[in-house]
Chains A and B, each alone.
Chain A
Amino acid sequence: MQRECKISVHEDREFVTIDVQGDLTAIAEEAMGAAYQKACDYSPEKVLLKFDGRSRINSAGIALVINLVIESQERGCKVFITGVSRHFRKIFELVGLTKYTSIVGSEEEVTAS
């Protein structure tokens, strides 16, 4: 009933991208954990969480992002987010995640930051 969630990891010279295709809900927990561990293999200073523009998130998905932020902070790694809808951004602002992540319009903004 939910859009399938496919998560993949890509390395750039400047940062590592975790590419999320689909809705971020509880069913994505295992895939997100595995993707983050793979991202950490590159010891990045920046991680970009890239959504597909149509992705939805619920409270369980918010918890996955919070866990990713916690682990990234402990590694001294900044978290960036892109590809989110206006509603998705509103949810992030409501819960306060914009204090701990940067929502950017493009990958170039991650490189420049």
Chain B
Amino acid sequence: MPITYREVIELALPSRSGLERVAVDAAASVARLMGFSDDRIEDLKTAVEEACINAIEHGNQQNANVKVLVELIADDSKLQVDIHDQGKGIRGTVEKPDIDAKIARKQSARGWGLFLIQSLMDEVEFDWNPETGNVTRMVIHLKQ
């Protein structure tokens, strides 16, 4: 029977631009301890950075008195990162970024955050409820 474990690490970040790097470094440290490859750790760092920036800027409107809660949940097969903010989450459809449209000035040059998160993580979900607020949940699996 395989040994199983579960560790939960929590961070509470003031919603101030730049502090997303604290969550990025913490997630990378946990992933390194779990044995993820350097390439996967780079994927994780980018996804955590983008999700935290969204939480700080859009979710909590850069109000430093409101915290972004980051949960790093590690077990023997995966790392789950939950990023909570007090925003309303994603409403309606989000326009898929298209490089050709952006180069042709038909789309804003920005808007790559969700695309990067979904491209780089194994599982992504977004959830919102009026009591707990908005959560972005990302999972990467350890390949055996």
Contacts and interface: CB of A to CB of B under 8 A. Distances in A.
Contact of A59 (B17, B39, B116): B116
Contacts, number: 70
Contacts of B112: 59, 62-63, 95
A86 B109 contact: no
Interface in B87-104: 97, 99-100, 102-103
Nearest to A69: B103
B32 interface: no
Interface in A45-93: 56, 58-60, 62-64, 66-67, 69-70, 73, 85-87, 90-91
A112 interface: no
Interface of B: 17-22, 39, 42-43, 45-46, 49-50, 53, 97, 99-100, 102-103, 105, 108-113, 115-116, 119-120
Interface of A: 1-2, 26-27, 56, 58-60, 62-64, 66-67, 69-70, 73, 85-87, 90-91, 94-97, 99-100
